[in-house]
C-alpha cells in the first residue's frame, strides 16, 4: 500500500520536492564520484589511459539513449497512475518498463562486446590509445544490462516519491568501485582493462540490490511485484510513445558529441583528455539540476494524475528560483577555479591544466541556462509531454556542431569548439524555459483542461 510520507500531491511543495530531489542529487553525486575515481586513478597511469576510457565512454553515454525507454516508462507511468490512485496500472507500467529495459540492455551490450574495434575506429585515434579504448569498451558492454535494469527500478522508486533506496544502493556500488579500482588497475597491473572490470562488477552489485529492493524492501512502492510478466501491448505502446522523443534526443546528442570529439581529437590526445575530465567537472551543474529535474518529473506526474494544477505551477516556480542560485554558484566555480580543478586529476601536466582552465571558463556561461533547462524538461516529462524538450534539444545540438566546426575553422581552434558548445547550450536552456512557460499559460493538457491562470 502506498505510504503517505511519499505522496507528492500533499504537503509543502518545497519539502516534497526536496524529499525526492536530495536523494537523487546524492545518487548523481555518487555517479559523478564513481567516474572521477576512475579518472583519478587512470590519470596517474597516463593521459592516454584517460583518453582511451573517455573515448569508449562516448558509446557508454550513447547507451543512455535506449535506457530512457525503461526510465521514462516507469517514471511517467508510475507517477501519473499513483497520482490518480490506480496502483495496479502503476505497477504494470513499472513491470513492462523493466522488461523492455532488460531486453534492450542485452542487445546494446552485445553490440559493444562484439563490435568494439569497429566502433572505436571511428575516432581515428593513436593506435595505442585505440587498442586500450577498444578493450575497455568490449568489457564495459557486459555491464550495460545491469545499468538498464537499475535505471528502470530507480525510476519506479523515484516516481513513487521514495528515492532514498537509490542513494544507498549507489553508495554501496561506489564503495565497491573505490576498493577494487586501484587494486585491478595497479595492484594486478590490468590498467585500463582493470578499470572496466571494476566498473561492471560494481554495476552488477547495484543491479542485484535494486532487484532485492523492488521485491523485498519494506518501503517498496508495491507489495506484490513480479519480475517476470507477460508484456502488455497497450502499456508497451505508451512507453514507446513517451520514450521515443527522449531516446532520439539523447541518441542524437551523443552522436553529435562524438562528431565534436572526433574534431577535438585532431588537436591531439591532450585535447581529448580535457573533454573527458572537463565534462565530469561540469557535471556539477546537472548533478543538482538533474536532481531537481528528476524530482519534478515525479512531483508533476503525481499532481497531474491528481489534477492539482496549481501545485504543478508552483513546483516549477520554486525549482526555477533554487536552480538559478545554484547556476550562479557553479558559474563562479568553473570560471575562476577551472585550472585548479584540472590539477587535481592531472597533477603537474601544465599543458592540460591550461587547456582545461580555458575550457571551463568558456563553458561557465551556459550553467544557469543548463540548470533551468533541467527544471523545464522535468516538468514537461511529468505531464507526459516528452516531445517539446526533445525537439529543442535536437535542434540546438545540431546547431552546436555547426557552430563549433565553423568557429574552429575560422582560426579559433579548440576555443572555437568550446564556444560552439557554450552557445548551443545557452540557446537550448533558454528555449526550453520559454516553451514551457508558454505551454503553462495557454496550451491544453492531455485531458483537454488548461492550467488555470494564477489567482
Q: For residue range 404-445, what is the model confidence (pLDDT) as tens digits?
A: 778 877 877 788 888 888 888 899 899 999 888 887 765 444
Q: Which three cell numbers stand for residue 101?
A: 529495459
Q: Which backbone phi and psi does 109 adopt, to 5 degrees?
A: -60, -35
Question: 164: left (phi > 0), else alpha (psi -120 to 50), else beta?
Answer: alpha
Q: Which residues of 220-244 are buried (b: 16+ CB within 10 A; e: fewer)?
A: bbbeebeeeeeeeeebbebbeebbb
Q: How far apart (Å, rounded) are the C-alpha atoms in residues 88 and 90?
A: 5
Within a domain: 448: no
**What is the pLDDT at residue 442?**
52
Q: How far apart (Å, rounded) are the C-alpha atoms in residues 431 and 421?
A: 15
Within a domain: 214: yes
> Between these two residues, 78 and 8, which has the higher pLDDT value?
78
pLDDT band at 5 (very low <50, low <70, confident <90, very high): low
Position 146 pLDDT exceeds 90:
yes
11-15 average pLDDT score: 83
Within a domain: 455: no
Position 450 pLDDT exceeds 60:
no
**What is the pLDDT at residue 38?**
73
Tell me the three state secondary structure of residue 450: strand
Comparing 258-272, 326-340, 370-384, which segment has the lowest mean pLDDT?
Answer: 258-272
Fill in the DSSP letter of residue 115. Answer: S
Q: Which tens digit of pLDDT belongs to each residue from 329-376? A: 999 998 998 888 888 777 777 888 888 888 899 999 999 999 999 999
Within a domain: 451: no
Q: How far, CA to CA in Å, does 44 sit from each of 93, 337, 347?
A: 45, 21, 9
Report field, pTM of the whole predicted structure over 0.85? no
Which residue matches cell numbers 576512475? 38
Q: Which tens digit of pLDDT belongs to each residue from 272-324? A: 778 777 877 877 777 788 888 888 888 888 888 888 888 888 889 999 999 99
- Asked whether the beta carbons of 154 and 166 are under 8 A apart, the reply is yes
Return the number of other C-beta atoms located less than 10 Å from residue 193's C-beta: 17
**What is the pLDDT at residue 97?**
93
Q: How far apart (Å, rounded) are the C-alpha atoms in residues 118 and 141?
A: 14
Q: How many structural domains are present in the chain?
A: 1
Residues in the chain: 455
Comparing 108-122, 250-264, 364-378, which segment has the lowest mean pLDDT?
Answer: 250-264
Q: Which backbone phi and psi does 173 adopt, to 5 degrees?
A: -60, -40
Within a domain: 405: yes
Which residue matches cell numbers 508552483? 314
3-state SS string for the chain: CCCHHHCCCCCCHHHHHHHHHHHHHHHHHHHHHHHHHHHHHHHHHCHHHHHHHHHHHHHHHHHHHHHHHHHHHHHHHHHHHHHCCCHHHHHHHHHHHHHHHHHHHHHHHHHHHHCHHHHHHCCCCCHHHHHHHHHHHHHHHHHHHHHHHHHHHHHHHHHCCCCHHHHHHHHHHHHHHHHHHHHHHHHCCCHHHHHHHHHHHHHHHHHHHHHHHHHHCCCCCCCCCCCCCCCCHHHHHHHHHHHHHHHHHHHHHHHHHHHHHHHHHCCCHHHHHHHHHHHHHHCHHHHHHHHHHHHHHHHHHHHHHCCCHHHHHHHHHHHHHHHHHHHHHHHHHHHHHHHHHHHHHCCCCHHHHHHHHHHHHHHHHHHHHHHHHHHHHHHHHHCCCCHHHHHHHHHHHHHHHHHHHHHHHHHHHHHHHHHHHHHHHHHHHHHHHHHHHHHHHHCECCCCCECCCCC
52-64 average pLDDT score: 81
Q: Which tens digit of pLDDT belongs to each residue from 184-230? A: 888 787 878 888 898 899 999 999 999 999 998 888 888 888 888 78
**What is the pLDDT at residue 153?**
94
**What is the pLDDT at residue 305?**
84
Position 261 pLDDT exceeds 80:
no
CA atoms within 13 A on the CB side of 27: 26
| Element housing 26 (H / E) | helix 13-45
Position 398 pLDDT exceeds 80:
yes
**What is the pLDDT at residue 352?**
82
Most confidently modeled range among 10-24, 40-54, 193-207, 249-263: 193-207
- Range of 370's domain? 12-442
Within a domain: 454: no
Calculate ∠ Cα 329-38-377, nearest 5°.
Answer: 45
Q: Which three cell numbers stand for residue 318?
A: 520554486
**What is the pLDDT at residue 430?**
92
Which residue matches cell numbers 529495459? 101
Position 452 pLDDT exceeds 80:
no
Within a domain: 5: no
- Asked whether the beta carbons of 109 and 144 are under 8 A apart, the reply is yes
Within a domain: 156: yes
* Percent of the chain whose pLDDT exceeds 70: 95
**What is the pLDDT at residue 96?**
93
Amino acid at each position: 500500500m502506498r505510504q503517505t510520507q511519499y505522496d507528492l500531491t500533499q504537503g509543502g511543495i518545497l519539502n516534497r520536492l526536496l524529499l525526492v530531489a536530495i536523494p537523487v542529487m546524492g545518487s548523481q553525486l555518487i555517479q559523478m564520484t564513481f567516474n572521477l575515481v576512475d579518472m583519478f586513478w587512470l590519470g596517474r597511469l597516463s593521459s592516454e589511459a584517460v583518453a582511451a576510457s573517455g573515448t569508449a565512454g562516448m558509446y557508454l553515454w550513447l547507451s543512455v539513449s535506449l535506457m530512457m525507454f525503461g526510465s521514462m516508462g516507469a517514471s511517467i507511468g508510475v507517477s501519473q497512475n499513483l497520482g490518480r490512485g490506480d496502483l495496479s496500472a502503476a505497477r504494470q507500467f513499472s513491470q513492462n518498463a523493466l522488461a523492455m529495459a532488460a531486453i534492450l540492455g542485452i542487445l546494446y551490450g552485445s553490440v559493444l562486446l562484439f563490435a568494439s574495434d569497429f566502433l572505436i575506429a571511428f575516432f581515428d585515434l593513436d593506435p595505442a590509445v585505440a587498442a586500450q579504448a577498444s578493450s575497455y569498451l568490449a568489457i564495459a558492454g557486459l555491464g550495460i544490462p545491469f545499468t538498464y535494469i537499475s535505471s528502470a527500478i530507480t525510476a519506479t522508486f523515484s516516481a513513487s516519491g521514495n528515492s532514498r533506496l537509490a542513494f544507498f544502493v549507489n553508495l554501496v556500488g561506489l564503495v565497491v568501485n573505490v576498493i577494487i579500482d586501484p587494486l585491478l588497475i595497479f595492484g594486478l597491473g590490468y590498467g585500463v582493462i582493470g578499470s572496466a572490470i571494476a566498473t561492471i562488477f560494481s554495476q552488477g552489485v547495484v543491479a542485484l540490490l535494486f532487484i532485492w529492493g523492488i521485491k523485498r524492501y519494506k518501503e517498496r512502492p508495491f507489495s506484490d511485484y513480479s519480475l517476470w510478466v507477460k508484456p502488455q501491448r497497450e502499456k508497451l505502446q505508451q512507453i514507446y510513445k513517451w520514450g521515443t522523443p527522449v531516446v532520439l534526443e539523447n541518441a542524437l546528442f551523443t552522436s553529435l558529441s562524438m562528431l565534436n570529439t572526433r574534431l577535438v581529437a585532431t588537436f591531439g590526445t591532450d585535447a581529448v583528455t580535457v573533454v573527458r575530465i572537463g565534462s565530469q567537472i561540469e557535471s556539477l551543474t546537472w548533478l543538482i539540476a538533474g536532481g531537481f529535474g528528476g524530482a519534478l518529473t515525479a512531483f508533476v506526474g503525481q499532481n497531474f494524475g491528481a489534477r492539482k494544477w496549481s501545485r504543478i505551477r508552483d513546483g516549477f516556480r520554486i525549482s526555477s528560483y533554487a536552480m538559478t542560485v545554484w547556476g550562479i554558484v557553479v558559474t563562479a566555480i568553473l570560471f575562476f577555479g577551472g585550472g585548479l580543478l584540472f590539477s587535481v586529476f592531472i597533477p603537474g601536466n601544465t599543458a592540460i591544466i591550461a587547456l582545461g582552465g580555458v575550457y571551463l571558463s568558456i563553458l561557465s556561461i551556459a550553467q544557469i541556462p543548463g540548470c533551468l533547462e533541467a527544471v523545464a524538461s522535468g516538468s514537461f516529462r511529468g505531464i507526459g509531454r516528452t516531445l517539446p524538450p526533445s525537439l529543442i534539444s535536437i535542434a540546438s545540438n545540431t546547431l552546436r556542431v555547426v557552430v563549433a566546426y565553423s568557429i574552429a575553422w575560422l582560426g579559433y581552434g579548440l576555443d572555437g569548439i568550446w564556444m560552439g558548445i557554450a552557445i548551443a547550450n545557452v540557446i537550448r536552456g533558454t528555449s526550453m524555459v520559454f516553451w514551457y512557460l508558454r505551454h503553462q499559460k495557454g496550451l491544453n493538457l492531455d485531458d483537454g483542461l488548461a492550467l488555470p491562470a494564477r489567482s
